[in-house]
Amino acid sequence: MMKINKINEMSSPELENELSELKTELFKLRFSLATHGLDNPMRIKEVKKDIARIKTVLRQRELADAKK
């Protein structure tokens, strides 16, 4: 699980990259859950929260840039 402080320190391109990696991981987790089950089903919840955190920070930056 990523901490919000770490997310805030990352640049926007890094966040975009991390977001795409997390989306890929979420897809793989859902696929393996559907086919043969997962060792840790809570990982899906963690990944979804990380995606939400990153999207929130990106949107905040986007709004801050629009205000300028």
Fold of the 4-67 domain: Helix Hairpins (1.10.287)
The DSSP-derived string for the chain is ---HHHHHHS-HHHHHHHHHHHHHHHHHHHHHHHHT--S-THHHHHHHHHHHHHHHHHHHHHHHHHH-
Note the pTM of the prediction, 2 decimals.
0.90
All structural domains of the chain with their residue ranges: 4-67
Tens of pLDDT, residue by residue over 10-68, are 999 999 999 999 999 999 999 999 998 888 999 999 999 999 999 999 999 999 999 87
Rounded to whole angstroms, the Cα distance separating 32 from 67 reads 43
